[in-house]
Structure 1
Amino acid sequence: MENLLFSLNVVSPIFLLMCVGAFLKKVKIFDDDFLVKANSFVFKILFPVLLFNNIYKSEIAEEVNVKLIIFAIGIVLVTIGILFIIVPKFEKDNKNRGVIIQGLYRSNFVLFGVTLCTNIFGESGLGVVTTIVAIIIPIYNFMAVIILDVYSNDKSNLKKTVISIMKNPLIIGSILGIIASALKIKLPEFMENTISDIAKVATPFALMLLGGDIEIRNIRNNLKYVTVVVIGKLLVIPALVSFVTVLFGFRGVELGAIFSMVAPSVAVTSYTMAQQYDCNYELAGQLVFVSTLVSPFSIFLFIYFFKTVGLF
């Protein structure tokens, strides 16, 4: 019963905040125009400040070892490599291929990862997970561009792509945080407090917006794809990655950081990128929607298992 309550306490705040957002959309406090502007504000301001704040306050060298960083990068690249081989064998439509691969490997790591590790391990988990976020998010974004570009008729310019990635607010916030932490830069107290206050708003506000964004249309047209991707994304890949992570000797916070990297729902930005590359963005949106609804329950099952067997 203790492990059950622990797991519920980890997942319930995430689910309830999404429900609040869905309710606010239902009663028209959140409308479409507000959601578009608010999501832009979260992406460009709140999340970069959140990442900077968490990394700035952590001791990177002490909390994350090089082995874990290399392992996390390896997991992402190997997963993408395997999907590049498997997905085209079963799906012949290029408009679907890139969306399916992106949906299987790319998660809402920024939104869910920090929250999960904080709920499970408290403040001790922040340094580990935010440093992994700082490294993995640029890789997520860069690989998503490459994948969608490969399966798109509208090929992009590599130089413009790299510049666009480097201008990503999440990457800028992460890099500034790493520099400040590594060089042990001390900001004035009033700046620290202001940054900390802004950072506290990011996750609950973003989760409510995510709940407000949830909607679905024509899911029957893509039901087969949605079912396969959601099962693979939320159950198969997290199970395999967690198993490999344990084999490599990681436990506790480090296992939690890797799990938080692969277990959350499909990244919201995957929908926007699918639109930009003229891929099946309807499918991309449905993957975000269904995986977002199901992920709190799948995450709950994993956390309950890890807690029961003593890995957390």
Structure 2
Amino acid sequence: MDSFVYSVNATVPIFLVMILGGVIKKLNIIDDNFVNKANKYVFIVALPAMLFKDIAQSNVKKDFDISFVLFCMIVTTICFVAIWLLSELFMKDDTMKGSFIQGSFRSSAAILGLAFVQNMYSNTGMAPLMIVAAVPLYNIYSVIVLTFKAKKRNEDGSLIEVSNAENIKKACINIIKNPIIIAIFFGLWFSVLNIKFPVIIDKTITSVASTATPIALIVIGAGFEGRKAIKKIKPTIIGSVIKLILQAGIFLPIAIWMGFRNQELVSILIMLASPSTVSCYIMAKSMNNDEVLASSIIVLTTLFSSVTLTVWIFVLRMGGFI
């Protein structure tokens, strides 16, 4: 019961803030210009600040476990490649593939992961290490697929054919310039070198970081187009099932067989089965992909994750693994 209450408390407020974003947009309190500017702010400033702070303040050097890190990296890579291959085989609309792939494999590891593990074990344990292992790959792989699947159009609206070589070059540039990847890189070095900020700087970074989640959620709600989302209900449902059930169903037994328990296993669960992260929408919108499908997957996975995560935790507890 405690796990269910916590899951509801962790996910329902997120969903309600999304609804608030839609309501205040309908009331003309905010407009499309605000949404576009807020997208850029979250992607370039707030999310990088949050990830930098979380990683820099953790003790990555002390908690480093090579088998755990490799497991997180390899599983993330397998999920990404498999979902991309399946989408190429079964999805007809090429313009939806980037958002579908990203929404299906990329978890809210940073936003929900630390809080979830800390709530269960009174400290973040292996969660920062999971973030270091998985989140950079989330962003690198997302940049790659969103670059290749971006809607490139002429002024008259016709699609532009872009060569693979040009796509690869652009993807590499986007990875190097990605603010989230840069923030994780510097956060990792600050953690390893145990660099501490003066109180003034620390409080400033904390204040900026604290704006990431609420503004991102309001922007998702404000940008959510219900009528268009209904037309894309099939890929939304399929992506949500992959995100909340299928990945964990395949890889959690492997993690248990490899001996991962308690905080390690909960961190892996968050990586595999937490809702799609709000930055899926931010990046899809910023990189000319299908932001409607991205927001639909985020909303649906957030809505149902309180149930699915509770079931996964119940199963793991019943098995004596956490």
Q: Is the 8 A contact 1:234 1:263 kept in 2?
A: yes
Corresponding residue for residue 47 of structure 2: 47
Give 5+ residue unaligned stretches, structure 2. 151-160
Corresponding residue for residue 116 of structure 1: 116
Secondary structure at the residue paired with 2:227?
coil
Corresponding residue for residue 196 of structure 1: 206
Corresponding residue for residue 159 of structure 1: 169
Give 5+ residue unaligned stretches, structure 1. none
Q: Is the 8 A contact 1:142 1:165 kept in 2?
A: yes
* Alpha-carbon distance in 1 for matches of 2:217, 2:149: 31
Please tell me whether residue 173 in structure 1 is matched to residue 187 in structure 2. no
* Alpha-carbon distance in 2 for matches of 1:23, 1:221: 21
* Alpha-carbon distance in 2 for matches of 1:204, 1:258: 25
Segment of structure 1 superposing worse, 34-43 or 218-227: 218-227
* Alpha-carbon distance in 2 for matches of 1:292, 1:65: 30
Corresponding residue for residue 275 of structure 2: 265
TM-score normalized by the length of structure 2: 0.80
CA shift at 1:151, angstroms?
A: 5.7
Corresponding residue for residue 254 of structure 1: 264
Match of 1:110, as an amino acid? A
Q: Is the 8 A contact 1:238 1:259 kept in 2?
A: yes
Match of 1:186 among 172, 180, 196: 196
CA shift at 1:90, angstroms?
A: 2.7
* Alpha-carbon distance in 2 for matches of 1:47, 1:32: 21
Match of 2:126 among 125, 128, 136: 128
* Number of residue equivalences: 310
* Alpha-carbon distance in 1 for matches of 2:284, 2:208: 30
Match of 1:207 among 211, 214, 217: 217
CA shift at 1:120, angstroms?
A: 3.7
- Matching of residues 52-63 of structure 1 within 5 Å: 52-63=52-63
Corresponding residue for residue 228 of structure 1: 238
CA shift at 1:103, angstroms?
A: 3.0
Q: Percent identity?
A: 30
Corresponding residue for residue 139 of structure 1: 137
Change in Cα spacing, 1:117 to 1:211, as seen in structure 2 (3 Å) is farther
Please tell me whether residue 76 in structure 1 is matched to residue 76 in structure 2. yes
Change in Cα spacing, 1:189 to 1:15, as seen in structure 2 (3 Å) is same
* Alpha-carbon distance in 1 for matches of 2:313, 2:208: 29
CA shift at 1:178, angstroms?
A: 1.0
* Alpha-carbon distance in 1 for matches of 2:204, 2:145: 39
Cα shift readout 1:266-303 (whole Å, capped 9, x = no counterpart): 34454566567776555444334433433344334334
Secondary structure at the residue paired with 1:265?
coil
Q: CA RMSD in A?
A: 3.2
Q: Is the 8 A contact 1:95 1:278 kept in 2?
A: no
* Alpha-carbon distance in 1 for matches of 2:311, 2:52: 31
Q: Is the 8 A contact 1:46 1:202 kept in 2?
A: yes
Q: Is the 8 A contact 1:138 1:165 kept in 2?
A: no
Match of 2:204, as an amino acid? T
TM-score normalized by the length of structure 1: 0.82
